Amino acid sequence: MKERTENMSDATQVKLPDPAQRVADLLKEIGHDKPVVMLPETGKTSAEAAAGLGCSVAEIAKSIVFRRLSDDAAVMVVASGANRVDEKKVAAIVGELGKADAKFVRERIGYAIGGVCPIGHVQKTVMLVDEDLLKFDSVWAAAGHPHAVFNLTPQQLVAMTGAPVVDVALRAE
């Protein structure tokens, strides 16, 4: 994989894999002031990312992709890493859902599973943001690669995605 250099500060330069560089370029283009950070260990799971960042699992904004059955559209839920997504709640909002395999995610979203970013999708994506993310001052989202993340406020996440904020968490009754 070809790598480029992203200037994170005057003293530090980090080589980013192409998908992470694409996210860094997009963030810069929209005026986001936080850099893409490369974790030394993988951030494929919320727990791994949280451990690498020293934050709580709940502060990880994980991207879960489904396939809407009525039109084969990609549906992305950006959820708190501490939450399991309640597919019935999501389906009640967007329509009946099916599983999205790795090929579907890469073709419709443009990123590999484990590094799915909430922005910069290759096709129009139906988006939802978990209301539980709004409890935090800032959250961390994947930046196109299993080791790449970026920091943002929940309000920035909502603004960047244009997604409605909804209750998607599976909760004990």
Are residues 48 and 62 in contact, defined by beta-carbon separation less than 8 angstroms? no
Q: Measured in whole angstroms, how far is the alpha carbon of residue 73 from the centre of its chain?
A: 17
- What is residue 11's predicted lDDT score, i.e. its pLDDT? 33
Determine the Cα–Cα distance for residues 139 and 120; give it in Å rounded to an integer: 18
Query: What are the pLDDT tens digits along the chain (173 aa)?
Result: 333 333 333 334 568 999 999 999 999 999 999 999 999 888 888 999 999 999 999 999 999 999 999 999 999 999 999 999 999 999 999 999 999 999 999 999 999 999 999 999 999 999 999 999 999 999 999 999 999 999 999 999 999 999 999 999 998 76
- What is residue 43's predicted lDDT score, i.e. its pLDDT? 84
Q: Which long-range contacts (CB under 8 A, 24 or more apart) does 68-72 make?
A: 68/94, 68/95, 68/96, 68/97, 68/98, 68/126, 69/95, 69/96, 69/97, 69/98, 70/95, 70/96
Are residues 78 and 130 in contact, defined by beta-carbon separation less than 8 angstroms? yes
Where in the chain are the domains? 3-166
Backbone angles phi, psi at 25, to 5 degrees: -65, -40
- What is residue 44's predicted lDDT score, i.e. its pLDDT? 84
Residue 85: DSSP 8-state: B
Q: In this structure, which topology does domain 3-166 adopt according to CATH?
A: YbaK protein (3.90.960)
Among candidate residues 116, 109, 155, the one with its CA nearest the CA of residue 136:
155
pTM: 0.90
- What is residue 46's predicted lDDT score, i.e. its pLDDT? 93
Quote the tokens at residue 23: 């996210």
Among candidate residues 27, 55, 63, 52, the one with its CA nearest the CA of residue 8:
27
Determine the Cα–Cα distance for residues 123 and 44; give it in Å rounded to an integer: 22
Are residues 32 and 23 in contact, defined by beta-carbon separation less than 8 angstroms? no
Quote the tokens at residue 50: 């949280």
Quote the tokens at residue 49: 């990312």
Backbone angles phi, psi at 171, to 5 degrees: -120, 145
- What is residue 173's predicted lDDT score, i.e. its pLDDT? 64
